[in-house]
């Protein structure tokens, strides 16, 4: 499925137990913070920020929109926790940046510096989000997609 995304739009992909949100990076750069280093991630206009939460409904959408706004518009860093970190189970949203994101229900939230994998609920397991000119291509997803104004 192809999802066109304007610069000021966000797409919500809703499953039964979790929600994903997708916005274009617009070529911004992002800081990825780990225990050991700070990495600068440079992106192309059509690369994507993908956020995942373990909730559904309006509260989930507001939280995802806020998270992506803080990262893309206010340059908040992406934080990667070490594996086994006690805060991992308390994370409400997790985010990846790049041209490809695969959702997995078998990884620990917030502990993956590689940006091609993102923690998600079991009903979103295996969803693949790929950048495409002017939007996103989504594979292995049969839920509901809603596009709204982001800014």
> What does pTM read for this prediction?
0.95
pLDDT confidence of residue 140: 97
Strand 78-79, strand 29-33: pairing: parallel
Q: Which residues contact 13 (CB under 8 A, 6 or more apart)?
A: 19, 20, 21, 22, 124, 127, 138, 141, 143, 144, 145
pLDDT confidence of residue 2: 96
**In sequence order, what DSSP letters do the residues of 52-116 get, joined into one string?**
EES--SHHHHHHHHHHHHHHHTT-PPEE-PPTT-TTGGG-SEEEEEESEEEEESSS-TT---STT
Tell me how far apart the alpha carbons of residues 133 and 115 are, in angstroms, rounded to a whole number: 20
Residue 5: pLDDT band (50, 70, 90) is very high
Q: How many CB atoms lie within 10 A of CB 18?
A: 24
pLDDT of 73-129, one tens digit each?
Answer: 999 999 998 888 888 888 899 999 999 999 999 988 887 777 899 999 999 999 999
pLDDT confidence of residue 87: 87
Q: Which residue has the higher pLDDT, 132 or 109?
A: 132
pLDDT confidence of residue 151: 82
Domain boundaries, the chain: 2-149
Whether 129 and 4 have beta carbons less than 8 Å apart is answered as no
> What's the whole-number average pLDDT of the chain?
94
Q: For residue 140, what is the DSSP state?
A: S
């Amino acid at each position: 499925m192809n999802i066109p995304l304007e610069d000021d739009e966000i797409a919500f992909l809703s499953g039964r137990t979790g929600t994903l949100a997708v916005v274009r990076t617009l070529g911004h750069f992002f800081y990825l913070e780990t225990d050991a280093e700070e990495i600068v991630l440079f992106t192309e206009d059509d690369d994507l920020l993908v956020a995942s939460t373990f909730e559904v409904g309006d509260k989930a959408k507001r939280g995802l929109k806020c998270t992506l706004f803080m990262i893309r518009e206010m340059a908040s860093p992406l934080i990667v926790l070490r594996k086994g970190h006690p805060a991992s189970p308390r994370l409400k949203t997790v985010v990846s940046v790049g041209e490809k994101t695969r959702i997995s229900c078998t990884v620990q939230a917030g502990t993956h510096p590689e940006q091609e994998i993102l923690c998600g609920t079991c009903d979103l397991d295996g969803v693949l989000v790929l950048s495409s000119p002017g939007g996103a291509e989504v594979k292995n997803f049969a839920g509901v997609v809603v596009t709204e104004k982001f800014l």
